[in-house]
Amino acid sequence: MVGAFDTSGYNQERKTDPYIYQVGFGNTFASQAIPGVLPEGQNNPQNCKYDLYAEQLNGTPFTVPRASNQRTWLYRILPSVAHGGMVDTKQNPLLISDFSPLNPNVHINPHQVAWKSFKASASEKLDFIYGLRTIGGNGSAVSKDGMAFHVYAVNQSMEKTAFANVDGDLLFVPEEGRLDIQTELGSLMIGPGEIAVVQAGIKFKVAVPDGASQGAVYEVYGTHFTLPDLGPLGANGLANVRDFEHPVAGFDVEPSKWKVVYKIGGKLFETKRDHSPFDVVGWHGNYVPYKYDLSKFIIVQSANIDHLDPSVFCILVAKSKFPNINLMEFCALQQHYVTTRNTFRLPYYHRNASSEYIAFIRGGPGGYTGYTGLVPHGPPVKAWEAAVKEELDSTIANEGALITVMEPYQMLLLTDYAVSCTEYQLPPVSTWAYQPNFLKRIPEVNADLKAAGRPMIQ
């Protein structure tokens, strides 16, 4: 590859990441692997430098307001249309993109659900495209409204194959093993503790330098991830804009047979090419993949009593078509100091409007668990008993742990695979053994009621 292995730059100290990045969020970036390759003062000159082809990739319809308009101009060896036509290809039957309640292959779920980490069997070679397994989702990719929760279990790098997900943006959350993601706009390396977003339509290839790798992928249809507003927090905090890292241009000169697999409405198609699709010599725009190191998150929490809602751990949101309501929010719980007094320090018992699906990246039981919105949950009995007697010193919560939480507002319907993969399913937590301690204290309550001149409990 030309351009992307320059060792000077923002993150040169990182041993596990050979790439350099441009930082910010929502910026219009410009990057060129050969100096001067970007046209001056225009996007589409009659002749591009070195006879490259100019191509625009839109992330939003042309006329959306400027603040949310996203597009990138690519200057490449061959245009994306240089292919032999779109044809059917091998399908991944575990990929689901239609979560209509009328679809008999997806299921409403009232229970707490939990799965162990998903693994690729050593006897089966699975690359990223065929290692994806959809767990649940809502809405539909075809109508560009909704989202999907996938896991991946991969033990093979993609070879001479690129993937373009037309259906939505993908948020990668590795649990084990690094992902080396080569995109048309340059390369990103992420491992457990980092995340990356590759937007709809951008071609990419996933290599697994550590061998067997697994994690989660959250896909949003018809919208893009953005940062939550900060309100009274001010201009800084949570995920800071300068910590989002975008690739620099890098291109392969590789005139050989390649395949590009497209996911369109959940179905896979392929095109053939006579040159690597990673042939973009320069680009400029604001529709650009990015990565983020979760350890850079600025944690905000109560410093005196109670604790704040888990939205304070929010890293990215994807806006829905309902005004002021997010399609999903992506949060990460990590170690932080706790100094509160007179406070039940575990999560309060709750019934939240949004559903929640948790991935235990580090610490905790591993794997995944989830609850449907407004279905009650909270700490188990033993944890409650310990928490109400706990001596409240200043301490560190979630020490060494990294737990990501994906909260969709619309109900997640689970796929056939999610409800039938018995080798991965874990039993629900038993929640029936709570004691109604109040009843033992009725004499004391009645004494207080009597003193207040109120009727007593009979």
Q: Give the residue numbers of the binding site for Fe cation.
A: 350, 356, 377
> Across-strand partners of 18?
none
Three-state DSSP class for 353? coil
Name the residue type at position 369.
Answer: T
Please, which residue, 170 or 331, has the CB nearer to Fe ion?
331
Per DSSP, the residues of 76-110 read ESS-TT-SS--EE----TT---B--TT-TTEE---
Q: For residues 331 and 155, is the Cβ–Cβ distance under 8 A?
A: no
Which CB sits closer to Fe ion, 129 or 315?
A: 315
Dist CA 173 CA 177 (whole Å): 11
Q: Which is nearer to Fe ion, 34 or 401 (CB)?
A: 401
What's the rounded Cα separation, in Å, for the pair 212 and 404?
A: 21
Among residues 294, 239, 258, 253, the alpha carbon closest in space to that of 158 is found at 258
Nearer to Fe ion, 219 or 356 (CB): 356
- Out of 107, 275, 307, 336, the active site residue is 307
# residues contacting Fe ion (CB under 5 A): 1
Residue 229 CB, shortest distance to Fe ion, in Å, is 22
CB 323 within 8 A of CB 216: no
Chain residue whose CB lies nearest Fe ion: 356
The 3-state DSSP class for residue 266 equals coil
Choice between 202 and 403, CB closer to Fe ion: 403
Q: Which two tokens stand for residue 432?
A: 């029936």
Supply the minimum distance, in Å, between the C-beta of residue 193 and Fe ion: 22
Annotated binding site for homogentisate: 377
The CB-of-109 to Fe ion minimum distance in angstroms stands at 15
Q: Which of residues 330-369 bind Fe ion (CB under 5 A)?
A: 356
Work out how close the CB of 398 gets to Fe ion at its nearest, in angstroms, rounded to a whole number.
15
Distance of alpha carbon 139 from alpha carbon 306, whole angstroms: 36
- Least distance to Fe ion, CB of residue 113, Å: 13
Render the burial of 70-109: b for 16+ CB within 10 Å, e for the rest: bbbbbbbbbebeebeeeeebeebebbbbbbeeeeeebbeb
**Numbered residues of the known binding site:** 350, 356, 377
Between 5 and 349, CB nearer to Fe ion = 349
DSSP characters over 373-407: TT--B---HHHHHHHHH-----EEEEEEEEEEEEE
One character per residue 90-129, x = contact with Fe ion (rule: CB under 5 A): ----------------------------------------
Closer to Fe ion at the Cβ: 50 or 348? 348
Shortest spacing between CB 350 and Fe ion, in angstroms: 6
**Angstrom distance (rounded) from CA 69 to CA 73:** 13
Reduce the secondary structure of 207-241 to three states and give it as a string.
ECCCCCEEEEEEEEECCCEECCCCHHHCCCCECCH
Under DSSP, the state recorded for 66 is G
Handedness of CA 360, 417, 223, 214 (dihedral sign): positive
Annotation says 284 is catalytic = no
Instruction: Give the nearest distance from C-beta 356 to Fe ion in angstroms.
Output: 5
Residues that bind Fe ion (CB under 5 A): 356
Residues involved in catalysis: 307
